[in-house]
A = this chain, B = another copy of it.
């Protein structure tokens, strides 16, 4: 069945009320019956919830074949916890048919790829999917299609009971012996536990994995003891120096700086750029650089930002330290500067991904955004964006908060080079749709700028400010003229991943790529 963005969704996935994507605010005003976990009662006081091993904790929480386990990814490329836990469950305890529900998956979890190949892990639910895991899933080795959700789609699915977590394993940089735990303090502090803190509210069991036990009570905390079954102390939960990746550093590339400057100029040309505006940007080079140029406009106009949202880098923290930002709402930290800043500043707040972006609660923070600046792997002439599959059709990305902030914000700007290597970034039809085009307002490339025709109000703003723009078709034509028209990818029938829209409808599917033959 064709959905609203013209993707063919196989009927086999449209069961149990699952629907195809039907537009931007399809579930607004509807009612949702929330899922409820089945949790263990600790009526009698216990001196300590500490278990001597991950295995003991798994056994206490009833780990068995077929369970769904969850993890957060705040330690990013430095995470050890997911590998440690799955190794115990699969190699030590001999369990199988495991489903992993993670906020993201990447190079730190290569072991998961092995377990997929061995058929021990049969389901993946995630936002990001990168590295070897992306390759084995793309090769069709996972027993069931991976389910890709946005950061807001994940808590929605959990609250709807579409993901039922048997055991949530929460990496925490500090915990007390009752399970009051967080990502600040300790030897591998990672800052916000915004990705993780929603899971223990809906999981049947929760295990805290920490490398730094602190005296009771470890408060304020991100995960509260009233939702924790067991605490396990390990040598290292990860290596927090690997939180910052090279992509998350400030760029000195002149093309990226030029794009960033254009984005800031566009923001300053809209009516939303006024005292108390709200803003989110990604952690990629050009997105980061926007903050720098925006500062100039803010000082010139004499205005402050009320709220910065999302994953947080040191550059937005510095803006707060200069008195230019009132509040930072933080779901994850992209560098250790931001980690430290969260711990020390009362107006730098940790929020859960449900507060951040869940489309099914009563108003997530993304709904209060004036501006979001986002990147794209590809964007097509309908403004549909792909941030999950590479130009070779292999899974190597993450929707993250992209679809959520794009839908919630008043002005969503995509910043991306016109081409990457030999590939056109602006194209006729993206490989996979992860954010629908009606959520995207403006595209800034290193060539020219395009405005979504749905936003004539923004067209007028740019015209008034003398900011030139062209049609997105012109950008696509220019890209094709530079690197050639891309050949269509060849797919097999088998669906390896389902891309859910943030509201739970099916936005797209990713099929197995046909091996290249001469």
> How far does the alpha carbon of A361 sit from the alpha carbon of B37 in the complex, in Å?
12
A79 on interface, CB distance cutoff 8 Å: no
Contact partner of A44 (CB less than 8 A), chosen from B25, B41, B329, is: B25
Chain B min CB distance to A497 (Å): 24
A199 on interface, CB distance cutoff 8 Å: no
Contact partner of A361 (CB less than 8 A), chosen from B31, B41, B217, B410, is: B41
A500 on interface, CB distance cutoff 8 Å: no
Q: Are B33 and A38 in contact (CB under 8 A)?
A: yes
Contact partner of A38 (CB less than 8 A), chosen from B31, B215, B306, is: B31
On chain B, the residues within 8 Å of A219 by CB distance are 327, 349
A178 on interface, CB distance cutoff 8 Å: yes
A34 on interface, CB distance cutoff 8 Å: yes
> How far does the alpha carbon of A295 sit from the alpha carbon of B467 in the complex, in Å?
70
Tell me if A's interface is mostly helix, strand, loop or mixed: loop
Contact partner of A31 (CB less than 8 A), chosen from B29, B35, B41, B206, is: B41
A39 on interface, CB distance cutoff 8 Å: yes
> How far does the alpha carbon of A407 sit from the alpha carbon of B28 in the complex, in Å?
45
Q: How large, as a class, is the contact surface on chain A?
A: 35 or more
Q: Are A361 and B226 in contact (CB under 8 A)?
A: yes
Q: Are B41 and A359 in contact (CB under 8 A)?
A: yes
> How far does the alpha carbon of A224 sit from the alpha carbon of B361 in the complex, in Å?
11
A483 on interface, CB distance cutoff 8 Å: no
Residue of B nearest to A366 (CB): B45
Residue of B nearest to A159 (CB): B36
A470 on interface, CB distance cutoff 8 Å: no
Contact partner of A42 (CB less than 8 A), chosen from B41, B215, B227, B362, is: B362
A235 on interface, CB distance cutoff 8 Å: no
On chain B, the residues within 8 Å of A271 by CB distance are none
On chain B, the residues within 8 Å of A359 by CB distance are 41, 43
A30 on interface, CB distance cutoff 8 Å: yes
Known contacts A355-B226, A358-B226, A408-B45; is-contact A34 B39 (Cβ 8 Å): yes
On chain B, the residues within 8 Å of A276 by CB distance are 215
Residue of B nearest to A502 (CB): B43
Q: Are A40 and B31 in contact (CB under 8 A)?
A: yes
A482 on interface, CB distance cutoff 8 Å: no
On chain B, the residues within 8 Å of A410 by CB distance are 45
Task: Beyond A28-B42, A40-B362, A227-B362, list 7 extra A-B contacts (CB 8 Å).
Answer: A27-B41, A27-B43, A33-B38, A34-B36, A41-B360, A43-B360, A178-B363
Q: Which 5 A-B pairs have the closest CB atoms?
A: A45-B367, A34-B36, A28-B43, A36-B36, A226-B361
